[in-house]
Structure 1
Amino acid sequence: MRFVITRSFHRFRLLAVFALLALGAGSALAEVPAVVQSKLSRGINLSFWFANRDNPKIEPRLFWPDRSDLAQLRSIGFRHVRIPLERAWIADPRDPSKIDPAHADEFARAVELVAANQLLAVVTLTTTTDDLDRMLTDKPWRDTVAALWWSLARQLSARVPADKLVFEVINEPATENAAASVALMQTLAGAVRDAAPRHTIVVAGHKYSSVDELVTLKPFLDTNLVYSFHFYEPMNFTHQGAWWGWPMWAKLRGLPYPSTEALVAPLLASLDADAQPHARYYGQQEWNRGKLAAILDKVAQWQAQNGVPVWCSEFGAVKTNTAPASRQAWLRDTRTLLEQRRIPWTHFDFSQHMGIVDGAQGERVWDRGALEALGLGAPRSN
C-alpha cells in the first residue's frame, strides 16, 4: 500500500498505514546508490544554520556558513554536510501540516548552494523535546508532521536530484519507548518515500541514537535506507564543559584522553568536590583506542548481520574545557576506527562548542589540529 493523501480543510490528512516501510528483513547494501554512499564517507554538521532561528545568541555571521565556507569545506576533503532543520521554522504557522512558502524557498536555495559546491546535503528534521514527545504519543500530530515532511520532500526533490540530497526523518527521538520511535520513523519515512521515491532516507534508533539503540533496531523493508548512530563515548570526556544536559558536565575540565587513574589524579584537587568522584572513575575506566574499538565493533557486526548501510552522523568533543592534544587524540582514534570498519562519518560540528572554526564569515580561524586528526587537508588562506 502506498502513502495516500487528500486535501481536507486546507491540510493534508494521512489515510494509510505505511506498509512499504513495515518491519521485516533487511535490504541489500547496494540499494543505496553508490554515489550517495561515497559522498557520505566524511562530512560536517551545520547545526546552527537552520535551527534555533529564534535564538538571538545565534549570530548569523558567526554560525552560518556562506558560499566561501562551503567551498572551503569541499576543498579540505568533506563530501557532505548535515543540516538540521527546525520543524517549527519550516512549518506554516497557520497550518503546521504545510510548509511556510518563504522559509521553504530560503531553505531550498541553501540546499541548492550546497549542491553547487559539490557537497551532498543531508536534511535532518529537528525539534524540541516536548514536540518530539507529542509526535511519539499523539498519532494525529504525528500524521501532521508526516504531511509537512511530504510537502517539504516533494518540493526539495523537485529542485535537487537524488545524488545530491538525502532525507533524515528525525534527529534523536528522545524516548525510552523503542516501539514508539519505530512507529514515528515509519510514518515520517513513509511520507518522504511517497514524495521522493528515488532519494535515500535515513532512520535511527530510539533515545539519543547511540550504538546500543542502533543494534536493537530491526531493519525496515525499504531498500534505499541508511541507518545512523551518534558516537560520544565516553560522555564525561566528550561533554566536559557542556552547559546543556547533565549539570555535572559543566564542572568537569581537563580530563585527558587516553585516561588512566594516574593521569587523572593530579586534576582532582582543581575540581569541585562533587565532580571529583566522576573524574576519578573516568580515570579508572581507562578509556583508550581499544575500548572505543570494542563499542564500534558492535556496529560493524550489526551491519554485517543485516546487510544494510550504517553511518555515524555525529561524533565530536567539546573544546572549551578539553586540552587540544586530548581532543585531537580522541578525534583521530574515533575517525580511524570508523574508517577501518568502513563506516562513513560526520563530525559535530562546524562552529561553536564542538566546532572546527572560530570567527565570522570571511575571517574564519580553522582548527588545523582537529582537521589533521580528521584526516583532512589544510584550509586555503583567505
Structure 2
Amino acid sequence: MKKSLFTITLLLLMTSAFCQNKLPFTKGINMLTYFESWNKGELPNLNKHEEADFACLKNMGVEVIRLPVHFENLMEPYATGKIYDIVFERLDKVCDWAEKYQIYLVIDNHSFNSEEEDNNPPSAQFYKEHLEAVWSQVAQRYKDRSQYIIYEIINEPKGKGDVASKWVKIQQGIIDLIRQYDPERDIVVTGADFSSIDTLVKMKPYKDPHLIYTFHFYEPFIFTHQGATWVGKEMIDLEGLPFPYDKNKLPELKGNTKGSWIQWQIENEYYQTGTEKFINSRIKKAADWAKKNKVRVWAGEMGAKTWIDSKYRLAWINATRTALVKNEIPYCSWGIDGSDGFLTSDKAGLIFPDDIDKEALEAYGFTMPDKKLSEKTRINITSQKPYLVYDGLLGKGCSKICWGNINEIRKDRSYDYCFSISYPGKQSGIKLNLPNKISGILGKDPQSFSISLSVKFTDKSQEFNLNLSDADEGAELPPWNITVKIKASDYKIGEWITVEIPFSRFTESGAWSEKANKWFESQGKYDWSRLCCIYFDFDDFDNKKADTIYIDDIVIKKM
C-alpha cells in the first residue's frame, strides 16, 4: 500500500512538473494598430475594437491575444514619463474583456519599433530607463488581475548598438522590478537581435519559474517578406517566389533584386530553406532548447505577407503552423489585419470580421465566427446610434492622414483632444479614411444622412471645404468629390459650435487623381458606393486667413 501511494505521489509530481513546462494556450493573434502610435504624443486608434470583437475571437478559437503597445510615444515626457491616463483607461477595458471571455492577454511593450530605431536604436541606458518607467506603472496597476494577464518586457530587442551586449542584465533587472509588485505573474522574455531563434537558444534561462521565452518566426525571410517596402530596395522588387521551393517556378529577377544578396540566397540556399523540412528543423531547434532547459517557449509572431500568391502563402502558413503544433509550441499570427493577417488584403477600409479571408483564417488554425456574434460587431448607422468618425480618437475602421499645419491637441476640458489647423499655411488638410462598410450603408439612401462636427473658429476670415471623396481608381474612375464650404462668418467666433450638414447640400466639385496625375472637371459622376473618405481642405494660397480653427466630434448621422 505504501509503495502504491509512493508511486501515485511520484506520478502526480512528475505530471505537475511536466505541466509547468506547458503554456495554458495553444494559438492566438496579435491585435495590431489598436494601441500602436508611431508619433510622439499621438493617440492610437483606441476605438478600433470593442467587447463584441473579443466574443467573436473566442468563438473562432483564439486563446491568446498579444497586444502591441507603443508605450514610448504614449508617455509624458517621451519614453520615460507617466503613461497617459486614457491609455490605461482603455487598457483596463481590454483586460476586462479578456478576463470575461477567458482569453489570455499579453501586454506587449512594442516600443522603439520604427525603421529609424531598428537602424539606430536607443542606448542600453535609455532602454533601461524606459523599461523601468513602463513596468513600474503597469505592474502596480495590474498586480491584482487574474493570471489571464501576462506582461512582455519589450518586443524584439535590437541587435545593434550596445543593447545586445547588455540585454541579459537589463532584462533581469526588469524581471526583478516587476517582482517587487507582482511576484508570480507570467512574464515574456526574449533574446536580443529581434527575438530570433538563434539568439534564444544561446540564452541561459533566468532563475524564475514564471517566465515565457519567445521567438518570432518569418523564415525563410526572403519568402515571407517578398515585396515588402520597408526591408530594402532589393526586397521591393521581389515577387512570385514559390513555397515550397520549385526550380521550375522560380521568378525572373528584376530591378534591384538582380545581383543582390537576395539573388545569392535564391541560387545558393533557397532550395534548402524553402522547404517544410527546413521550417520544422528551425522550430524543433527552439523546442529542443525549451525541453532541455525545462522552460516554456512561445512563437509570439508568425506570418507571411497578404500580397504573396495565395497558394504559396497558404502552403507556408500551413507548414509553419503544422511544425509549431508538432513541436508543441503555441503561436500568434502577426495580426488580424495588416500585412500578415487573415483579412482579404492589407488595404485601408477593411475591418474585422466583415472582410475575413476564410482560407487564410483556417490556415492559421481558426474557424469562421458564428454569424450572430459577427452581426454584433458590425457597423450600423441609426437615428439613435450615429457612426463616430473622430472624437479625439478615430472611429472603428477609420484611419487618418494629415498634412500642413495640422496638430492634435488638448484644448480644454470638454474637448480634450481635437484637430487644430493653424494659419498662415498654404496647404493643410485632413483625410479621414472610412471603412468600406460605410459606402454600402450610405449608398442605399444617401439623402437620409448628414455629417455633424464641432468647430471653433477664432477669426472671421476663416473657412474650409468639407469633401466626401470616392476612391481613386485612376483615369477611368477618378476620386470624384462632393463639397460644401463652411465659413466662420456664418457662425459665432471664439465658441464651440455644432455644424450639421445634410448630404443633400453637397455638390460635385471635380476630382484630382493621384494615380492619373490629372484634374477632372465635374461630370455628375459621383458614386456613393465608392465613397472612401472625408477630406477637409484648409488651403490658403492667398494668405488671407489667420489664427487657428479647431475641429472635433465628427459623426455621420441618420436623419
Partner SS state of residue 245, structure 1 = coil
Aligned partner of 1:19 in structure 2 is none
1:345 aligns with 2:331: yes
Aligned partner of 1:272 in structure 2 is 255
C-alpha deviation, 1:311, in angstroms? 0.4
Point out the structure with max Rg over C-alpha. 2
Aligned-residue RMSD, C-alpha: 2.9
Aligned partner of 2:110 in structure 1 is 126
Aligned partner of 1:318 in structure 2 is 305
Q: Which has the larger displacement, 80-89 or 217-226?
A: 80-89
Rounded to whole Å, the distance in 2 between the matches of 1:64 and 1:234 is 32
Q: Contact between 1:202 and 1:228, CA under 8 Å: does it hold in 2? A: yes
Q: Of 280, 285, 289, which aligns to 1:293?
A: 280
The amino acid across from 2:226 in the alignment is: Q
Structure 1 residues 56, 319: closer, same or farther in 2, change over 3 A?
farther
The amino acid across from 1:296 in the alignment is: I
Rounded to whole Å, the distance in 2 between the matches of 1:239 and 1:317 is 7
Equivalent runs, 1:148-163 vs 2, <5 Å: 148-158=134-144, 160-162=145-147
Rounded to whole Å, the distance in 2 between the matches of 1:136 and 1:30 is 39
- Consecutive unaligned residues of structure 2, counting only runs of 5 or more, are 1-16, 376-559
Give me the TM-score of the superposition, normalised by structure 1.
0.81
Aligned partner of 1:282 in structure 2 is 266
Rounded to whole Å, the distance in 2 between the matches of 1:231 and 1:207 is 13
1:312-340, Cα deviation, whole Å (9 max, x unpaired): 000101112x1111111100010010111
- The higher relative CO (CA closer than 8 Å, separation ≥ 6) is in 1
Q: Contact between 1:205 and 1:214, CA under 8 Å: does it hold in 2? A: yes
Aligned partner of 2:33 in structure 1 is 48
1:227 aligns with 2:217: no
Q: Contact between 1:204 and 1:229, CA under 8 Å: does it hold in 2? A: yes
- Consecutive unaligned residues of structure 1, counting only runs of 5 or more, are 1-27
Structure 1 residues 51, 242: closer, same or farther in 2, change over 3 A?
same
Q: Contact between 1:255 and 1:279, CA under 8 Å: does it hold in 2? A: no
Aligned partner of 1:101 in structure 2 is 85
Percent of pairs with identical residues: 26
Partner SS state of residue 194, structure 2 = coil
Q: Which has the larger displacement, 45-54 or 332-341?
A: 45-54
C-alpha deviation, 1:69, in angstroms? 2.4
Rounded to whole Å, the distance in 2 between the matches of 1:373 and 1:363 is 16
Partner SS state of residue 212, structure 2 = strand
Aligned partner of 1:145 in structure 2 is 131
Rounded to whole Å, the distance in 1 between the matches of 2:79 and 2:285 is 43
C-alpha deviation, 1:107, in angstroms? 1.7
Aligned partner of 1:171 in structure 2 is 155
1:74 aligns with 2:61: no
Rounded to whole Å, the distance in 1 between the matches of 2:41 and 2:210 is 39
1:157-211, Cα deviation, whole Å (9 max, x unpaired): 33x312x100010100012554311122112222222222221001001111111
Aligned partner of 2:222 in structure 1 is 236
1:185 aligns with 2:171: yes
Aligned partner of 1:370 in structure 2 is 360
Rounded to whole Å, the distance in 2 between the matches of 1:379 and 1:304 is 35
Partner SS state of residue 223, structure 2 = helix
Rounded to whole Å, the distance in 2 between the matches of 1:294 and 1:87 is 35
Partner SS state of residue 138, structure 1 = helix
Aligned partner of 2:197 in structure 1 is 211
Q: Contact between 2:41 and 2:75, CA under 8 Å: does it hold in 1? A: no
Partner SS state of residue 351, structure 1 = coil
Structure 1 residues 356, 64: closer, same or farther in 2, change over 3 A?
farther
More helix by percentage: 1
Partner SS state of residue 365, structure 1 = coil
Structure 1 residues 356, 55: closer, same or farther in 2, change over 3 A?
farther
1:207-264, Cα deviation, whole Å (9 max, x unpaired): 1111101101110001100100001101011001212123322111111100132220
C-alpha deviation, 1:288, in angstroms? 1.0
1:96-153, Cα deviation, whole Å (9 max, x unpaired): 34333332222222222232232110011121267797765226x6145313311112
The amino acid across from 1:356 in the alignment is: F
Structure 1 residues 261, 372: closer, same or farther in 2, change over 3 A?
same
Q: Contact between 1:135 and 1:142, CA under 8 Å: does it hold in 2? A: no
More strand by percentage: 2
Q: Which has the larger displacement, 174-183 or 48-57?
A: 48-57
Aligned partner of 1:3 in structure 2 is none
Equivalent runs, 1:193-208 vs 2, <5 Å: 193-208=179-194
Question: How many residues are paired up?
Answer: 343
Structure 1 residues 57, 364: closer, same or farther in 2, change over 3 A?
farther
Q: Contact between 1:84 and 1:126, CA under 8 Å: does it hold in 2? A: yes
1:53-89, Cα deviation, whole Å (9 max, x unpaired): 649999949x933333222211111101000111224
C-alpha deviation, 1:294, in angstroms? 1.4
Rounded to whole Å, the distance in 1 between the matches of 2:303 and 2:79 is 37
Q: Contact between 1:172 and 1:206, CA under 8 Å: does it hold in 2? A: yes
Q: Contact between 1:97 and 1:145, CA under 8 Å: does it hold in 2? A: no
Q: Contact between 1:251 and 1:272, CA under 8 Å: does it hold in 2? A: yes
Structure 1 residues 372, 363: closer, same or farther in 2, change over 3 A?
closer
Structure 1 residues 338, 58: closer, same or farther in 2, change over 3 A?
farther
The amino acid across from 1:76 in the alignment is: M
Rounded to whole Å, the distance in 1 between the matches of 2:178 and 2:41 is 32
Rounded to whole Å, the distance in 2 between the matches of 1:243 and 1:110 is 32
Rounded to whole Å, the distance in 1 between the matches of 2:350 and 2:256 is 38
Rounded to whole Å, the distance in 2 between the matches of 1:297 and 1:94 is 40
Rounded to whole Å, the distance in 1 between the matches of 2:256 and 2:137 is 53
Rounded to whole Å, the distance in 2 between the matches of 1:53 and 1:135 is 16
